Amino acid sequence: MAQARSLPQSPAHRSPALPVESWRTRIKTSVLGYGLILPSLLVFLTFFYGPAIFLGYIAFFHWNIFSANSKFVGFANFITLFHQPIFWQSLLNTAYYVVVLVPVTALLALALALLLREGLNRGRGAISRAFIFLPHVTPVVATSIIWVWIFNPQFGLANTVLHFVHLPSLNWLESVHWALPSVMIYTLWHSVGLYTVLFLAGLASIPRSVIEAATTDGAKGWRMFKRIFWPMLGPITFFVIVLASINTMQTFSQIYTLTGGPHGGAGGPAFSTTTDSLLIYQTAFLYLHFSLASAMSIILFLLILILTLVQKWVADRYVFYR
Amino acid sequence: MPKIFRLRTWLLIVLPVLFFIPIYWTFVIAVGYHGAAYHLPPVWVPLFHWEPVLYVLTHTHWLRYVVNTVAITAATIILVLLTSALAGYALAEIPFKGHSLYFLLVIGVMMLPQQALLVPQYVVLFHLHMLNTYAAMVVPFAANSSSIFLFRQFFKKVPVSFHEIARIEGVSTLRYIFRVAVPLAKPAVATSILLTFIAAWNQFQWPLIMTNSPQIQPIELALSHYMQTYQANWRELASAALLALSPILIVFAFTQKHIVQAVAGGDLNAKD
């Protein structure tokens, strides 16, 4: 995702290397092209586009992977789903998770980027940037292990810190109210570096002349941010929010690992951390209700699409594109 | 005011330390004395007792998991380089029919929400008899949109005359790609290797769903099972986590600049 944005938007390919002379050459060119794209095309079709189309099929059938008799049931899977309280609970949990985490992540990333920018300009700060970015590339399960221990009510660092500032200790992952916020803290730690780096790229792309002109006019601090950085960072802020929303709506590994516990029943306590992707996983691969899970997948698909379109609509109104 | 008292300077030191504490603490618990995890207030000095790490490597199946992960990662990297070089070259140089359609297909893959596709992907793997095989963890990731784009960008910079000369000399396209174009696109190769390494090494959910036999599972999945079974065994758990972490840490230590820029998609230093 992050890669795609960076690619220069070059128009159609430049003058073809192979001169197009006759239909024979043209066919030869095309055959060569198809041969070269074939390996990646096969992978994309078999493992991504094929399944994406197949998803629509499973969701409208009463369907079981292990038996041949599947039958068309229309929207029955969706209706069953809407009668399950746990489905609504998972949507609520996801909404809570996304609505809190996305703005917090974006704001913190922006603050960190502004902080690091100054350092980078003076040749320092590259090391700080590396340390803030590092968690993003660490494997989720391996680092979740230590966070489970950090959140341990008795011996964990989290409560030690709370104790140090004279706040009451919390039960973190074992409490219905704090389990999801604990996952948010982990995700914030794990992902904020990614968005910080994206903001840094955005800051680096602001023309030097603009900043110099503003400085000459006496802008600094908050005014500088409000008048120069914030409007100039509009497009990248939009991108960060879209990317963070898509990523947080699909959080899986850390929820599975942090809330798993010795019994493996992730999503607890009392379903307080059961988000949509976790419920899809459990429905499909624990309870083997593939059709229900597919219906849920389609809903997730649509939710992500709608959210992105709404964000695009807002961005078109308020973001200043150079 | 002297520089040392400025809030910004302090934040630039304190924040990175905060971000690093969890990783450092994994290390402290892994190589500390037996009850280090349970010590209050927390211990901060590692004791360099390597027994738990050695125990995990020798008395459990961890070596096997490490080998699995290395094999999966290496195979994925090689395949990604092959498919990306070929498709990137086709997109950069060959005006075949359907060129722009394929371009859209490659972008589109990045737009598909991964979590929503897992069920049908499982069914596809089931019908291909790929469930519970190494291939299940490699082949679906053998092609990668961002690598294809990266190679395309670099191949576009290669002067047209190179290709013309090669054609006149009778060099085949494949030979030209791997002997001339790819060596000229070294940064693309490096970036693809790094990003694929990180993604493949950190795989968790995919193998969790697509495999079930312990013999072939990669380290992250093994770690998750281990965690659910032996949650009280903090020293061994931390040691195992350290084994999964260290390759990433080592690679990152040497290539952090490259990785950060690859993820950000450009130069991060302000142009002044």
Residues in chain B within 8 Å Cβ distance of A195: none
Task: Output the average pLDDT for chain B.
Answer: 86
> Is residue A72 a part of any domain in this protein?
no
Q: Are residues A153 and A284 in the same domain?
A: yes
pLDDT at B225 exceeding the cut of 60: yes
pLDDT at B169 exceeding the cut of 90: no
Q: Are residues A36 and A92 in the same domain?
A: no
Give the H/E segment covering residue B8.
helix B7-31
Residue A92's pLDDT is 95
Q: Are residues B63 and B17 in the same domain?
A: no
> Is residue A139 a part of any domain in this protein?
yes
Q: Are residues A122 and A253 in the same domain?
A: yes
User: What's the CA gap between B240 and A282, in Å, rounded?
Assistant: 26
Task: Output the average pLDDT for chain A.
Answer: 85
A19-23, A140-144, A241-245, B263-267: segment of lowest average pLDDT: A19-23
Residue B168's pLDDT is 86
CB-based contact, A2 to chain B, within 8 Å = yes
Tokens 């291939």 locate to: B135
Q: Are residues A247 and A191 in the same domain?
A: yes
Greater confidence (A315 vs B43) lies with: A315
- Whether residue B122 and residue A284 make contact (CB cut-off 8 A), yes or no, is yes
> Is residue A73 a part of any domain in this protein?
no
Q: Are residues A307 and A160 in the same domain?
A: yes
pLDDT at A300 exceeding the cut of 50: yes
> In B32-144, where does DSSP find H-type helix?
51-59, 62-93, 99-111, 114-127, 134-138
Contact A205, A6 (CB under 8 A): no
pLDDT at A1 exceeding the cut of 70: no
User: What's the CA gap between B149 and B106, in Å, rounded?
Assistant: 9
Q: Are residues A175 and A256 in the same domain?
A: yes
> Is residue B121 a part of any domain in this protein?
yes
pLDDT at A11 exceeding the cut of 50: no
Q: Are residues B19 and B138 in the same domain?
A: no
User: What's the CA gap between A281 and A278, in Å, rounded?
Assistant: 5
> Is residue A130 a part of any domain in this protein?
yes
pLDDT at B174 exceeding the cut of 50: yes
Length of chain A: 322
> Is residue A231 a part of any domain in this protein?
yes
Of B232, B34, B261, B235, nearest to A204 (Cα)? B261
B88 pLDDT tier (thresholds 50, 70, 90): very high
- Whether residue A130 and residue B269 make contact (CB cut-off 8 A), yes or no, is no
Give the H/E segment covering residue A61.
strand A61-62
> Is residue B268 a part of any domain in this protein?
no
Residue A67's pLDDT is 66
CB-based contact, A225 to chain B, within 8 Å = no
B240 pLDDT tier (thresholds 50, 70, 90): confident
> Is residue A4 a part of any domain in this protein?
no
Q: Are residues A314 and A245 in the same domain?
A: yes
Q: Are residues A128 and A234 in the same domain?
A: yes
> Is residue B262 a part of any domain in this protein?
no
User: What digits encode the pLDDT tens for the residues A267-297?
Assistant: 778 888 899 999 999 999 988 888 899 999 9
Range of the domain at A25: 14-59
Q: What is the mean pLDDT of residues A199-216?
A: 87
Residue B37's pLDDT is 66
Range of the domain at B131: 53-256
User: What digits encode the pLDDT tens for the residues A229-240?
Assistant: 888 888 899 999
CB-based contact, A41 to chain B, within 8 Å = yes
> Is residue A40 a part of any domain in this protein?
yes
Of A214, A194, A203, nearest to A133 (Cα)? A194
- Whether residue B142 and residue A43 make contact (CB cut-off 8 A), yes or no, is yes
Q: Are residues B140 and B17 in the same domain?
A: no
Nearest to A7 among B153, B195, B205 (CB): B153
Domain count for chain A = 2
Q: Are residues B175 and B90 in the same domain?
A: yes
Q: Are residues A22 and A110 in the same domain?
A: no
Query: DSSP states of A77-106 as a string?
Result: HHHHHHT-HHHHHHHHHHHHHHHHHHHHHH
Q: What is the mean pLDDT of residues B171-176?
A: 87
Tokens 């969701």 locate to: A59
pLDDT at A7 exceeding the cut of 60: no
CB-based contact, A195 to chain B, within 8 Å = no
Share of chain A above pLDDT 90, in %: 44
Q: Are residues B59 and B110 in the same domain?
A: yes
Q: Which residue of chain A comes nearest to B240, CA vs CA?
A: A142
Q: Are residues B10 and B68 in the same domain?
A: no
Q: Are residues B92 and B202 in the same domain?
A: yes
Count the neighbouring beta carbons within 10 Å of the beta carbon of residue B257: 12
Query: How far B68 CA sits from the closest chain A CA (Å)?
Result: 16
B25 pLDDT tier (thresholds 50, 70, 90): confident
Q: Are residues B109 and B220 in the same domain?
A: yes
Q: Are residues B225 and B100 in the same domain?
A: yes
